[in-house]
């Protein structure tokens, strides 16, 4: 079943945005944040497993993604910055009645999760970052290999033609073929595919990347300069069959420069979309980490 016993909702937040998503379960709360170009539905196999492990699970679409609100961009890209999205997350958890919570972020969502822990340390009791490093580190470590393999970062952020090119054929751009449908699952595929064919979704996702290479990286550097670091227990996990190890070696060694709290690590036997490709291992790793931090 697709998100069995989960409530589906739209929440209008005081941050001025409406978030769409699902929540279910009981016990210590954890919010799961998706990456690009997915939506909250990427967690449909992981979220019920975490409920079985005794957690309340909250899965929102980030602003600009899925069925969440897609506000107009601003010149400084702050409307889609990690800091602004982290404000959405804390406001959402307020609305749902959760004071403290754990936050898990994958891909673009890990930047939002990291920012939640930095900006709202009194709220975040545990942090899990999946398939990523701090934005400032990614920018400063960029070389020809990264720029070639991750060229889309710079196309999304810098090209004036990006929206026109993607919107001309989003099905082809995002590889929404029968293979993707099979890998993602029918309901997840249909939800994501429908969102990606809306021009406002494409605009919002590109603004996420524009913020990443500008205001997000600047905010990271400012925190580093003043010695502001993550203080809660942190899990750093990555996909074995993606390229994070090729680019950075052991990503947790990079995160140790940003985290004062205890760090756990895990290597997930999957490609990049770990929640869809190996939900059982990911849920087991997350449940063990979250249980160790819940007391």
Catalytic residue selected from 61, 82, 88, 107: 107
Range of the domain at 12: 7-293
Q: What is the mean pLDDT of residues 73-87?
A: 97
The answer as to whether 1 is a domain residue is no
Catalytic residue selected from 20, 34, 106, 272: 272
- Which pLDDT score, from 0 to 100, does residue 193 have? 97
The answer as to whether 157 is a domain residue is yes
The pLDDT > 70 percentage for the chain reads: 100
Could you tell me the CATH number of the domain that includes residue 52? 3.40.50.1820
The answer as to whether 279 is a domain residue is yes
- Which pLDDT score, from 0 to 100, does residue 31 have? 98
Phi-psi region of 107 (alpha: psi -120 to 50; beta: other; left: phi over 0): left
Per residue in 198-207, pLDDT (tens digit) is 999 999 999 9
Number of domains in the chain: 1
Q: What is the mean pLDDT of residues 175-188?
A: 95
The answer as to whether 88 is a domain residue is yes
**CA 135 → CA 101, 112, 259, 268, 269, distances in Å?**
23, 10, 14, 22, 24
* Known active-site residue 272: yes
Q: pLDDT band for position 217 (50/70/90)?
A: very high
The pLDDT > 90 percentage for the chain reads: 98
- Which pLDDT score, from 0 to 100, does residue 1 have? 80
Q: What is the mean pLDDT of the chain?
A: 97
The answer as to whether 109 is a domain residue is yes
Contact between 237 and 267 (Cβ < 8 Å): yes
User: Is the pLDDT at 4 greater than 80, yes or no?
Assistant: yes
Per residue in 229-283, pLDDT (tens digit) is 999 999 999 999 999 999 999 999 999 999 998 999 999 999 999 999 999 999 9
User: Is the pLDDT at 294 greater than 90, yes or no?
Assistant: no
Helix/strand/coil for 61: coil
Per residue in 82-98, pLDDT (tens digit) is 999 999 999 999 999 99
* Known active-site residue 260: no
The answer as to whether 215 is a domain residue is yes
- Which pLDDT score, from 0 to 100, does residue 246 have? 94
Per residue in 105-124, pLDDT (tens digit) is 999 999 999 999 999 999 99
**Would the pTM of this model clear 0.85, i.e. be above it?**
yes
- Which pLDDT score, from 0 to 100, does residue 295 have? 66
The answer as to whether 2 is a domain residue is no
Give all strands of the β-sheet with 124-130 in edge-to-edge order. Answer: 7-12, 18-24, 56-60, 29-33, 101-106, 124-130, 234-239, 263-268
The answer as to whether 44 is a domain residue is yes
């Amino acid at each position: 079943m697709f998100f069995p016993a989960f409530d589906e909702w739209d929440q209008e937040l005081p941050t001025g945005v409406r978030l769409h998503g699902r929540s279910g379960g009981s016990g210590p709360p954890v919010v799961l944040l998706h990456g690009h170009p997915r939506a909250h539905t990427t967690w449909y196999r992981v979220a019920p497993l975490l409920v079985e492990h005794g957690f309340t699970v909250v899965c929102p679409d980030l602003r600009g993604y899925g069925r969440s609100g897609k506000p107009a961009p601003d010149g400084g890209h702050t409307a889609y910055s990690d800091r602004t999205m982290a404000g959405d997350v804390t406001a959402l958890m307020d609305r749902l009645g959760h004071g403290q919570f754990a936050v898990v972020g994958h891909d673009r969502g890990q930047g939002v999760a990291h920012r939640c822990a930095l900006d709202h340390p009194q709220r975040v009791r545990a942090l899990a970052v999946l398939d990523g490093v701090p934005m400032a580190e990614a920018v400063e470590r960029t070389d020809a290999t990264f720029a070639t393999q991750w060229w889309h970062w710079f196309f999304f952020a810098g090209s004036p033609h990006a929206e026109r090119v993607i919107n001309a054929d989003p099905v082809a751009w995002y590889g929404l073929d029968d293979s993707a449908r099979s890998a993602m699952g029918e309901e997840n595929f249909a939800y994501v595919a429908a969102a990606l064919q809306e021009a406002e979704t494409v605009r919002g996702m590109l603004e996420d990347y524009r913020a990443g290479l500008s205001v997000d990286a600047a905010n990271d550097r400012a925190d580093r300069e003043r010695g502001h670091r993550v203080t809660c227990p942190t899990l750093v996990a990555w996909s074995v069959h993606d390229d994070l190890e090729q680019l950075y070696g052991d990503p947790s060694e990079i995160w140790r420069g940003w985290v004062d709290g205890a760090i756990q690590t895990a290597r997930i036997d999957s490609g990049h979309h770990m929640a869809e490709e190996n939900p059982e291992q990911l849920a087991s790793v997350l449940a063990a980490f979250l249980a160790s931090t819940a007391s």
